[in-house]
Amino acid sequence: MHKFLIVKVGGTFADYAAERGDFEDWTVRGMSLAESEWETVNPQNGANLPDPAGFAGAVITGSHDMVTDGTPWITDTAAWVRRAVDAGLPLLGICFGHQLMADALGGKADYHPDGVEIGTANITRTRASEEDPLFRDLPEVFPGHVTHSQTALKLPQGATLLATGSHDPHQSFRVGESAWGVQFHPEFDAPAIHEYISRREADLAASGRDVAAIRATVRDTPQSASLLKLFANYCRTR
């Protein structure tokens, strides 16, 4: 059985990672992977991305960077996404990964015109999601943790919109049979999103946001978290 690849395009705050692990750790825990079942590559630090054909599936993590930064590692990772999709490698892009996939495959990522989305949002499945192997058994509306300034403003041509939200109309999409993007964070738990709200509290308050109201949205998100295991199982059984 091939391993899973975690494409680490960013990490959480260094001190928080020292306490609770980093994005790749949260992701593989959610996927219920044994240590022998996965490996990670960090293109942000200059590592070369491997041949997509050698893996069961790949997850592209979130990042504190922005897709529109256009740095060489972002351009290289976007090119790898196109190769992976052409090769039929199952992909799951989370937040930055979702935006990068949309941009790389012909859509457009940029800053959301209504600003930051943060807290726990209601994610609403579309009619098309009823035929999707990851989303079809989820509730019609379910909670997902969100923290992002950029978004997939435009989806790639031919993409299937799977989920929407009141702030972000493109909460999830699929390209082809097995390349998914999710704007929300299935790997976050409630303590993690509380941490992100606290870290951004001053900026949120300065921009006129009601931080207490944002905190009040936070709740557990078992349905969105289940997508990680659903993706792993899909990759194993396809």
CATH code of residue 50: 3.40.50.880
> Is the Cβ–Cβ distance between 95 and 9 less than 8 Å?
no
Share of the chain above pLDDT 70, in %: 100
pLDDT on residue 238: 83
pLDDT in tens, 178-202: 999 999 999 999 999 999 999 999 9
pLDDT on residue 18: 98
pLDDT in tens, 117-162: 999 999 999 999 999 999 999 999 999 999 999 999 999 999 999 9
What is the rounded distance in angstroms from the CA atom of residue 196 to the CA atom of residue 177? 33
- C-alpha 4, offset from chain centre: 16
Residues marked active site are found at 95, 185, 187
pLDDT in tens, 83-96: 999 999 999 999 99
Domain total of the chain: 1
Q: CB-based burial of residue 216 (10 Å sphere; 0-12 exposed, 13-18 middle, 19+ buried)?
A: exposed
Domain membership of residue 9 as a residue range: 3-237
- Nearest one of 82, 31, 40, 32 to 60, comparing CA atoms: 40
Say which DSSP state 69 is in: G
pLDDT at residue 1 greater than cutoff 80: no
| Degrees, nearest 5: CA angle 30-173-45 | 60
pLDDT in tens, 221-237: 999 999 999 999 999 99
Residues 6+ apart with CB under 8 A from 169: none
